[in-house]
Structure 1
Amino acid sequence: MTERSVPRTAVQLVLGWAATCALLLGAGWLLTHTLAGSVGAWDDDVARAVAERRTSGLDAVADVGTLLAETPVGAGVAAVVAVVVALWKRSWLPVLVLGLATAGAGALYKVGTTLITRDRPPVEILDPGLVPDHSFPSGHVGTAVAAYAGTLVVLWWLAPRSRRWVWPLALVPPFVAACRVYQGAHHVSDVVVSGVLVTAWLWLVVRLVLVPEVSRPPARHSAARERGAPAPG
C-alpha cells in the first residue's frame, strides 16, 4: 500500500464499517419490532425444538464450539497466525488484515448489544452468566468469522500451498453458530445476521487491504517497465 493510497483506504474502511453497522442496527430493529411477531415467534419455536433434543454428548460438542469462539481464544488464534505468517512472508499484511477483521467484528458486537435489546431464547441456557437481553448479535459467531475465516483467507492468498489443509477453517463459523443456537444463547436470526454482516466486513477488509497488495507486481518488475526495459526473469 503506497503512502498516497493509505488515507483513501482508511476512509473506505471507516465508511464500510459504518455501513455494515447501520445494516446490523437496522436488522436488529426489525427483529425486535416489525418482525418480532413473525420471525421472533419462529425463532422461539426453533429454540424450543432444539432444546428438546439435547443430549449429554451434544452438550459437550456445543461446549467445544463455544470455546473455539470465545474472544480470548479466537483473537489469540488470529494473533498467532498473523505474527507467524508476517514473519514467514516478511509482510505486515497478515497482522493488518486479521487485526482489522477482529477489531471491526468486536466493535459491531459492542454497538449492537448496546443499542439493540433482545431477550435470549425462552429455553434453558447452557452457557451460564450471559446478559439476558444481549441476544443480538452473536459475538461468538462474529469472532469465528473474523478469526477463523479471516485466517483461512490470509493463508489462501499468502500461502497457496496450504489451501488443501486450511479449507476446514471455513466450517468453524457455521459450527459455532449451531452450537450457540443449541445452547440457547442466541436465536437463529441472531447468528445468521452476525455471520452475514461480519463476513461482509471481512470481505471489505480483504478487498481493500489484502487483494491490492497481493495483486501488485513486484517492485523490480514495475521499475523495469517504467524504464522501458524488459523485466528480469
Structure 2
Amino acid sequence: MSRAPRPAAAAGIVVVSWAAILGVVVGFGWLITHQLKSSVNPWDNDVSRWFADQRSSTLNPLGDIGTFFGETMVGWGVAALAAVVFCVWRRTWLPALFMGLVAAGIGGLYAITTSIDTRQRPPVKILDPGLVPDHSFPSGHVATAVAAYGGIVLLSLVYARASRRWVWLLLVLPVFVLLARLYQGAHHLTDVLTSVVYASVWLLVLSRTVLSRVPVSSGR
C-alpha cells in the first residue's frame, strides 16, 4: 500500500471527504427532484415500468433474495463478522476501524439525504411492503451492499492476498441487490446508481486513509 497519512491528517481527510460526498449527493438529489425533475422523471419512470413488466412468479423470489442481501442487519452483520475475523487473525484493530467508519459514513449519508431530498417511489406496484413512500432517493439497500461487500473485498485484498482470485465474486452481490430493488419497484434507476457511486467513493477514501496504514507484508 502507499504511504499512509499521519493520523491527524487522515482524520481530516476522512471528515472533509465525507462532508464533500454528502454535499454532492444532496445537491444532485435536489436537482433531480426540482430543477431537473421534468427531464429525469419520464425516462426514470420508464425504466421502472420496464422492470415491472418483467415480473413473474419465477423472478419474484429472486427479488426477495436480492433485497435480503441488502438489508442493513444482513449486510453490516456479515461485514462486522469479517472485520472481527481479520482483527483476530492479523492481530490488528484496523479492520474494525475501517468497517466501522464505512458503516457510520454510509448510514449518515443515507439518513441525511433521505430527509432532505424527499422523492416519491416509482409509479409501479412496490413488491417490498412497508417502505417510506418519499424515501426513494438514494437506495439504502444498494449503498449497504456496495459498502459492506465491497469493504470485505478490500479487507481480503489487503490481509489475504491469496484470496484475490475468488474474492471479487462478492461484488456480484451489490449488482444482484441493485437489480432486485429496481425489479421490486423500490427505487428509480438514478436512486440506485447514486448509491453505487457515493458508496464506492467512500470506500476509496477509507481504503486510502485507513487501509493504507497496513504494512505491505501483512497481506501475504
TM-score (normalised: structure 2): 0.94
Counterparts of 1:137-148 in structure 2, within 5 Å, are: 137-148=138-149
Residue in 1 that maps onto 2:27: 26
Secondary structure of 1:149's counterpart equals helix
Counterparts of 1:56-95 in structure 2, within 5 Å, are: 56-95=57-96
- C-alpha displacement of 1:165: 2.4
Contact 1:144/1:173 (8 A) holds in 2: yes
- C-alpha displacement of 1:166: 1.2
Structure-2 change in CA distance of 1:63 and 1:214 (3 Å): farther
Higher relative contact order (CA 8 A, sep 6+): 2
Residue in 1 that maps onto 2:188: 187
CA deviation vs aligned residue, 1:127-168 (integer Å, no higher than 9, x gap): 000000000010001100111011011101110011122111
Distance 1:69 1:52 in 2: 23
Contact 1:148/1:173 (8 A) holds in 2: yes
Higher deviation after alignment, 163-172 or 78-87: 163-172
- C-alpha displacement of 1:212: 3.4
- C-alpha displacement of 1:56: 1.3
- Structure 1 runs (4+) deviating above 3 angstroms are none
TM-score (normalised: structure 1): 0.89
Contact 1:78/1:147 (8 A) holds in 2: yes
Kindly tell me the number of residue pairs found equivalent between the two proteins.
Answer: 214
Structure 1 residue 174 and structure 2 residue 188: aligned? no
Which blocks of at least 5 consecutive residues in structure 1 are unaligned? 219-233
Contact 1:157/1:214 (8 A) holds in 2: no
Q: Which has the larger radius of gyration?
A: 1
Contact 1:66/1:176 (8 A) holds in 2: yes
Counterparts of 1:81-120 in structure 2, within 5 Å, are: 81-120=82-121
Secondary structure of 1:57's counterpart equals coil
Question: What do you get for the CA RMSD once the two structures are aligned?
Answer: 1.4
- C-alpha displacement of 1:116: 0.6
**Percent identity at matched positions?**
50
Residue in 2 that maps onto 1:226: none
Counterparts of 1:195-214 in structure 2, within 5 Å, are: 195-214=196-215
- C-alpha displacement of 1:37: 1.1
Counterparts of 1:122-133 in structure 2, within 5 Å, are: 122-133=123-134
Distance 1:56 1:156 in 2: 39
Distance 1:80 1:129 in 2: 28
Partner AA of 1:112 in structure 2: T
Partner AA of 1:46 in structure 2: V
Partner AA of 2:192 in structure 1: V
CA deviation vs aligned residue, 1:190-209 (integer Å, no higher than 9, x gap): 00011101100110000111
